[in-house]
């Protein structure tokens, strides 16, 4: 017995001669992957490294080449006053930045929470059999297909304080007592952004959840029906656990997307500090305020924050990208 | 008993269809209202109507004849098409390698690709700007084609890999026995089998490129090189308070109608493509 | 036109050993069938011979030449797959010609002649312009065989080619393959199946595999008459050989006594006694299942249609010269 295991272990360790076929395939695979990898390195890898580098320099938009290394200066630096008090400056103590971080995180979590719940409702509706299901599915694809910029503009017209149809509808139905300047008021700006984002991206969520729902075998429900399990209990005991992997994947995709939101806010509520997100602020500093290095520091922070959140989510939620939804 | 049961059933179905109607109305109404507005002109624009009241093509005429909007449309078409073709070209061979060849580090590579497609584009903006200026393609369509690769390429690779993984192994083995090299397998055996997947993936990538805003805003600088999302975002009147809503809505409808038609035609394929990749297009 | 030799061939997938050291020689022009229960490694062995899988260790020789690393297309093989594996987007003609078009040095006219010749052999000439999806399962399998013939291989490999066909077609195609072997008697054929009837009817020699090892190699009649183990004895032949243990076996001086149903007679002065559990009447013959206190019922095969009432007590005797005796390790005592 011992000798046999020994023999087999040496066999595994012995160098394997690769056949022509395997060599050919591996050579081809390498050749096929190189162009893609080079392309990704040029458009993603290198620019990412350069962005991080710029965040440690004093680069300005007009003079990138002359950028000087300043260490962590853009993130945190301090000067000791004559009085002995220490003044901190830099991104880490910039209240406007932390406001943007808070806006982004708040936006991401609220919008994704609503989208998950509403997406589940829409998915459950689409999973039922009824006349006109095709029409519903076609209808919910429309918000998804409309470019974000277009939907931002469409909604800003609908949310217009004077001539907007939503104010009109709200007043007619008695939901609003007076016309609201949705996008201009600090109190309602975030609500407006959330409404548009939820409207636009719930379909995507619904389709991903629907795909998960359709993988649940029908006979499980038939069995539950025969056992007299109440539909509500069926949902929490059968549907939710079984659709969880698909839901978790859908949520992380949406979360990552929401955390980098830029275009909707840029167009719908420009210059509103109530909705300014990390991306909007980073771009502003990079290209509008000529604080290229400071903007780079912001984008680097943004990248770090998203990376950390993603890792935490995958770790806590035990998301599996391959096995989960297939 | 029977009567109450039927009544219950009726109420349930009524509530269900109210929900269904609500979903459909909420989904479609903003687009409907945009179309409605785009056909209004002059003062009619500022009267709130729920149903069509007037019909005028003035806004469309304005948008298409003045300014650079037709040029922007062409830019968008060119940029999105070239981006998609390039991405598909690189992705087909790469996805063959990822789906069909066993090699070490394949799982890690796939995860990296997924990571890049989920990447905050803001994080590379500064570095991309430098590269694009260095290449001398700033303010040209090539700047956009170049930068769009960052999301179209990982997306197409990921989706095509899942599609290619599902092709039967025995067909590939038959081709190997017939003496086909990997290149021949891809071009003469797999591609003809995959064209529906290629169309779907290409369409999704096209929509992604067509809708892109951040790079288009940053890497183009004047009216003639902009794409339509930027043009629509920056469309403004003579003063800050005079937003040309009619023109904006007309432009929006022009940009969106082809997409909506494409999406409705390829509905089923798009849904399968979206869920196969699990990535937003 | 090729002989194939395997020397201590092993194959493992990761930590799992699938082929655990196989020595085997397939002669020129021979029809060799690999048979065994599912998971015995027979398909893997075929794929090793085809070159689609690498061997982990050991040597493989075609006509005495080492081919361990040679690409499948250079081994002079053709393969027929279980799922036909036709290219769905090509016509039957294109399917059959594909391999030749990839090889350099074949004129269009030559390719056409070779395809048509193969098509004639299989009577599929009228389908040459069709797509695979326009054909029935049996026709598809013929095309798959035709595609293999067109390549003019030295070795013909079949991977359970009949398992996707219905029973009637399976018999017809089996006969077709047997005919093909007669016509192409220069071509070595290796055929994988889990169906011992296919093995018995087609093979010149059968290789019984079990758990990654060769259990026995021999002609069908050798395996039937002189199985090298209880496993082979039980696997070859239908109905399955009866195995009798205990006192009855001890009387014959063995741990297990094997006797086929067709080698037992019902006699009034029979040696053993058993109660009829059930009778299966197949028309030409009948299977009588007897409870003899063994783990499994003992089957007696009788000619013609015979029916016994369940519960009837019968006396049976084995034909002494047809008895197989096995020791406790399952090896034959001869």
Q: Clarify whether residues C24 and C109 are in a common domain.
A: yes
Helix axes B191-211, B141-165, angle to 10 degrees: 140
Q: Does residue C333 form part of some domain?
A: no
What is the rounded distance in angstroms from the CA atom of residue A5 to the CA atom of residue A17? 22
Looking at residue B83, its pLDDT comes to 96
The nearest CA of chain C is from the CA of B93 a distance in Å of 19
Q: Which residues contact C321 (CB under 8 A, 6 or more apart)?
A: none
In sequence order, what DSSP letters do the residues of B165-208 get, joined into one string?
Answer: HTS-HHHHHHHHHTT--HHHIIIIIIHHHHHHHHHHHHHHHHHH
What is the rounded distance in angstroms from the CA atom of residue A284 to the CA atom of residue A280? 6
Q: Does residue C334 form part of some domain?
A: no
CB-CB contact of C181 with C202 (8 Å): yes
Q: Clarify whether residues C33 and C161 are in a common domain.
A: yes
Looking at residue C130, its pLDDT comes to 93
Per-residue pLDDT band at A179 (split at 50, 70, 90): confident
Mutation to test the A interface, candidates B120, B143, B219, B265, most A Cβ within 10 Å? B120
pLDDT at A265 over 50: yes
Contact C151 B178 (CB under 8 A): yes
CB-CB contact of B189 with B180 (8 Å): yes
CB proximity C329 to A under 8 Å? no
Q: Does residue C76 form part of some domain?
A: yes
Per-residue pLDDT band at B157 (split at 50, 70, 90): very high
- The bridge status of strand C242-245 relative to strand C256-259 is antiparallel
CB-CB contact of B276 with B201 (8 Å): no
CB-CB contact of C136 with C144 (8 Å): no
- Nearest CB to A145; choose among B154, B249, B259: B259
Q: What is the mean pLDDT of residues C143-148?
A: 92
Q: Clarify whether residues C112 and C163 are in a common domain.
A: yes
The nearest CA of chain B is from the CA of A120 a distance in Å of 13
Question: In CATH, what number is assigned to the domain containing residue A165?
Answer: 1.10.3720.10
Neighbours of chain C (3+ CB pairs under 8 A): A, B
Q: Clarify whether residues C154 and C252 are in a common domain.
A: no
pLDDT at B273 over 80: no
Q: Does residue C331 form part of some domain?
A: no
Q: Does residue A27 form part of some domain?
A: no
Per-residue pLDDT tens digits for C238-280? 889 999 988 888 888 889 999 999 999 988 888 898 999 999 9
Question: In CATH, what number is assigned to the domain containing residue C262?
Answer: 2.40.50.140
Whole domain around residue A193: which residue ranges? Answer: 95-317
Tally of domains within chain C = 2
What is the rounded distance in angstroms from the CA atom of residue B245 to the CA atom of residue B247? 5
**Out of A241-250, B121-130, B176-185, C182-191, least confident range:** A241-250
Q: What are phi and psi of C240, to 5 degrees?
A: -55, 145
Looking at residue B32, its pLDDT comes to 92
The three-state (H, E, C) secondary structure of B225-240, written as one string: CCCHHHHHHHCCCCCC
pLDDT, chain C, mean: 91
Q: Does residue A65 form part of some domain?
A: no
Provide the ipTM: 0.86
Q: What is the mean pLDDT of residues B220-225?
A: 89
Closest C-chain CA to B180: C102
Which value, in Å, is the radius of gyration of the alpha carbons in chain A?
27
Q: Does residue C332 form part of some domain?
A: no
Looking at residue A155, its pLDDT comes to 92
Q: Does residue A290 form part of some domain?
A: yes
Tally of domains within chain A = 1
DSSP state of B175: H
Q: Does residue A298 form part of some domain?
A: yes
Contact A18 C72 (CB under 8 A): no
CA distances from B156 to A43, A70, B150, B184, B205 (A): 15, 39, 11, 21, 7
C-beta atoms surrounding B43 within 10 Å: 7
Q: Clarify whether residues C225 and C250 are in a common domain.
A: no
pLDDT at A325 over 80: no
**Out of A38-42, A211-215, C205-209, C321-325, least confident range:** A211-215
C-beta atoms surrounding B242 within 10 Å: 9
pLDDT, chain B, mean: 87
**A112: which 2 tokens?**
């994704």
CB-CB contact of B281 with A146 (8 Å): no
Per-residue pLDDT tens digits for B93-121? 999 999 998 888 888 898 888 888 887 88
What is the rounded distance in angstroms from the CA atom of residue C115 to the CA atom of residue A93? 79
Looking at residue C91, its pLDDT comes to 94
What is the rounded distance in angstroms from the CA atom of residue A304 to the CA atom of residue B137? 29
Neighbours of chain A (3+ CB pairs under 8 A): B, C
Per-residue pLDDT band at B53 (split at 50, 70, 90): confident
Looking at residue A14, its pLDDT comes to 43
Contact A138 B264 (CB under 8 A): yes
Q: Does residue C283 form part of some domain?
A: yes
What is the rounded distance in angstroms from the CA atom of residue B46 to the CA atom of residue B30? 17
What is the rounded distance in angstroms from the CA atom of residue A255 to the CA atom of residue A309? 9
Q: What is the mean pLDDT of residues B229-252?
A: 80
Looking at residue A216, its pLDDT comes to 84
Query: Residues of B with CB below 8 A from C150's CB?
Result: none
Looking at residue B4, its pLDDT comes to 65
Q: How many residues does chain A have?
A: 326
- Nearest CB to C102; choose among B168, B178, B193: B178
Q: What is the mean pLDDT of residues A218-222?
A: 84
Looking at residue A197, its pLDDT comes to 94
Q: Does residue C220 form part of some domain?
A: yes
The nearest CA of chain C is from the CA of A48 a distance in Å of 38
Question: In CATH, what number is assigned to the domain containing residue C151?
Answer: 3.40.50.300
Looking at residue B24, its pLDDT comes to 93
Q: How far is CA B106 from the centre of its chain?
A: 28
CB-CB contact of A145 with B260 (8 Å): yes
C193's enclosing H/E stretch is: strand C188-193
pLDDT at A12 over 70: no
pLDDT at C104 over 90: no
**Out of B2-16, B74-88, B210-224, C34-48, least confident range:** B2-16
- Nearest CB to B126; choose among A30, A296, A325: A296
Query: Residues of B with CB below 8 A from C103's CB?
Result: 179
What is the rounded distance in angstroms from the CA atom of residue A197 to the CA atom of residue A263? 11
CB proximity B74 to C under 8 Å? no
**C170: which 2 tokens?**
């399976």
Q: Is the pTM of this model over 0.95?
A: no
What is the rounded distance in angstroms from the CA atom of residue A259 to the CA atom of residue B123? 12
Q: Does residue A322 form part of some domain?
A: no
What is the rounded distance in angstroms from the CA atom of residue A310 to the CA atom of residue A37? 23
More confident residue, A8 or B23: B23
CB-CB contact of B175 with B252 (8 Å): no
Q: Among C194, C217, C233, where does a domain finish?
A: C233
CB-CB contact of A66 with A314 (8 Å): no
Per-residue pLDDT band at B2 (split at 50, 70, 90): low
pLDDT, chain A, mean: 85
Opening angle at CA C44, ends C41 and C46, nearest 5? 115
Q: What are phi and psi of A40, to 5 degrees?
A: -65, -35
Q: Among C202, C233, C264, where does a domain finish?
A: C233
CB proximity B189 to C under 8 Å? yes
Q: Which residues contact B128 (CB under 8 A, 6 or more apart)?
A: A43, A47, B147, B150, B215, B219
CB proximity B104 to C under 8 Å? no
Q: Does residue A19 form part of some domain?
A: no
Q: Does residue A43 form part of some domain?
A: no
More confident residue, A180 or A1: A180
Q: What is the mean pLDDT of residues C136-144?
A: 89
Whole domain around residue C41: which residue ranges? Answer: 4-233
The nearest CA of chain A is from the CA of C76 a distance in Å of 14
Looking at residue B240, its pLDDT comes to 57
Contact A43 B23 (CB under 8 A): no
């Amino acid at each position: 017995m011992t000798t046999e295991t020994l023999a087999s272990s040496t066999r595994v360790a012995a160098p394997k001669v690769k056949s022509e076929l395997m060599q050919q395939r591996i050579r081809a695979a390498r050749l096929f992957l190189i162009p893609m990898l080079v392309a990704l390195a040029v458009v993603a890898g290198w620019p990412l490294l350069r962005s991080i580098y710029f965040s440690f320099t004093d680069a300005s938009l007009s003079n990138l080449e002359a950028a000087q290394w300043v260490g962590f200066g853009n993130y945190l630096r301090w000067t000791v006053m004559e009085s002995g008090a220490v003044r901190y400056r830099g991104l880490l103590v910039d209240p406007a930045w932390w406001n943007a971080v808070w806006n982004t995180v708040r936006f991401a979590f609220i919008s994704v929470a609503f989208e998950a719940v509403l997406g589940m409702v829409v998915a459950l509706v689409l999973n039922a059999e009824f006349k006109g299901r095709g029409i519903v599915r076609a209808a919910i694809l429309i918000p998804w297909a409309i470019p974000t910029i277009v939907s931002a503009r469409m909604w800003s017209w609908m949310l217009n304080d004077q001539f907007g149809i939503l104010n009109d509808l709200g007043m007619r139905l008695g939901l609003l007592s007076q016309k609201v300047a949705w996008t201009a008021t600090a109190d309602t700006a975030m609500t407006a952004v959330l409404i548009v984002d939820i409207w636009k991206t719930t379909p995507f969520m619904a389709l991903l959840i629907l795909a998960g729902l359709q993988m649940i075998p029908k006979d499980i429900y038939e069995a539950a029906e025969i056992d007299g399990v109440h539909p509500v209990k069926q949902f929490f005991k059968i549907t939710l656990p079984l659709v969880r992997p698909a839901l978790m994947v859908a949520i992380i995709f949406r979360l990552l997307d929401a955390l980098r939101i830029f275009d909707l806010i840029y167009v719908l509520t420009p210059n509103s500090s109530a909705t300014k997100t990390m991306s909007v602020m980073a771009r502003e500093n990079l290209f509008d305020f000529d604080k290229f290095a400071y903007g780079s520091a912001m984008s680097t922070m943004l990248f770090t924050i998203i990376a950390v959140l993603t890792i935490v989510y995958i770790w806590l939620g035990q998301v599996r990208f391959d096995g989960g939804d297939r | 008993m029977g009567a109450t049961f039927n009544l219950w059933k009726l109420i349930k179905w009524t509530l269900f269809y109210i929900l269904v109607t609500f979903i459909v109305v909420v989904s479609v109404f903003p687009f409907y209202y945009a179309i409605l507005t785009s056909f209004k002109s002059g003062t009619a624009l500022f009267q709130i109507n729920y149903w069509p009241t007037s019909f005028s093509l003035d806004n469309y005429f304005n948008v298409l004849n003045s300014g650079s909007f037709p040029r922007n449309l062409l830019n968008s078409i060119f940029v999105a098409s070239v981006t998609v073709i390039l991405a598909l070209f690189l992705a087909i061979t790469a996805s063959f390698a990822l789906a069909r060849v066993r090699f070490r580090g394949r799982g890690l590579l796939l995860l990296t690709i997924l990571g890049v497609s989920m990447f905050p584009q803001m994080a590379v903006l500064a570095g991309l700007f430098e590269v694009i200026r260095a290449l001398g393609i700033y303010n040209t369509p090539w700047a956009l084609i170049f930068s769009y690769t960052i999301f179209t390429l990982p997306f197409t690779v990921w989706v095509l890999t899942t599609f290619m993984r599902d092709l039967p192994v025995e067909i590939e083995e038959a081709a190997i026995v017939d003496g086909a090299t990997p290149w021949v397998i891809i071009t003469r055996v797999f591609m003809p089998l995959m064209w529906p997947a290629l169309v779907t993936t290409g369409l999704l990538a096209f929509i992604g490129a067509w809708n892109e805003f951040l790079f288009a805003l940053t890497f183009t600088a004047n009216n003639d090189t902009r794409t339509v999302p930027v043009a629509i975002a920056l469309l403004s009147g003579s003063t800050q308070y005079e937003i040309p809503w009619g023109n904006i809505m007309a432009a929006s409808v022009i940009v969106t109608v082809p997409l909506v038609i494409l999406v409705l035609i390829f509905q089923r394929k798009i849904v399968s493509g979206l869920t196969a990749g699990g990535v937003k297009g | 036109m090729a002989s194939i030799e395997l020397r201590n061939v092993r194959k493992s997938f990761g930590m799992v050993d699938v082929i655990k050291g196989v020595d085997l020689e397939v002669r020129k022009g021979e029809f060799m069938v690999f048979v065994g229960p599912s998971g015995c490694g027979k398909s893997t062995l075929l794929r090793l011979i085809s070159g689609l899988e690498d061997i982990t260790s050991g040597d493989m020789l075609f006509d005495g030449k080492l081919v361990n690393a040679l690409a499948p297309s250079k081994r002079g093989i053709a393969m027929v797959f279980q799922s036909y594996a036709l290219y769905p987007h090509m016509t039957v003609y294109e399917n059959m010609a594909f391999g030749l078009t990839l090889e350099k040095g074949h004129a269009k006219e030559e390719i056409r002649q070779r395809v048509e010749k193969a098509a004639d052999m299989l009577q599929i000439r009228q389908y040459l312009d069709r797509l695979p999806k326009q054909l029935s399962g049996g026709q598809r399998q013929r095309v798959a065989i035709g595609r293999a013939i067109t390549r003019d291989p030295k070795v013909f490999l079949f991977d359970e080619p009949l398992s996707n066909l219905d029973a009637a077609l399976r018999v017809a195609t089996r006969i077709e393959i047997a005919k093909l072997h007669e016509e192409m008697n220069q071509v070595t054929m290796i055929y994988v199946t889990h169906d011992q009837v296919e093995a018995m009817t087609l093979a010149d020699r059968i290789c019984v595999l079990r758990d990654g090892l060769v259990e026995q190699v021999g002609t069908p009649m050798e395996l039937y008459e002189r199985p090298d183990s209880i496993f082979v004895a039980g696997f070859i032949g239908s109905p399955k050989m009866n195995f009798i243990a205990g006192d009855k076996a001890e009387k014959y001086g063995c741990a297990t006594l094997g006797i086929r149903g067709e080698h037992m007679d019902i006699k009034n002065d029979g040696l053993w006694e058993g109660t009829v559990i059930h009778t299966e009447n197949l028309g030409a013959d009948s299977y009588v299942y007897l409870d003899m206190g063994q783990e499994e019922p003992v089957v007696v095969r009788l000619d013609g249609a015979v029916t016994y009432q369940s519960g009837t007590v019968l006396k049976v005797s084995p034909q002494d010269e047809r008895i197989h005796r096995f020791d406790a390790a399952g090896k034959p005592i001869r």
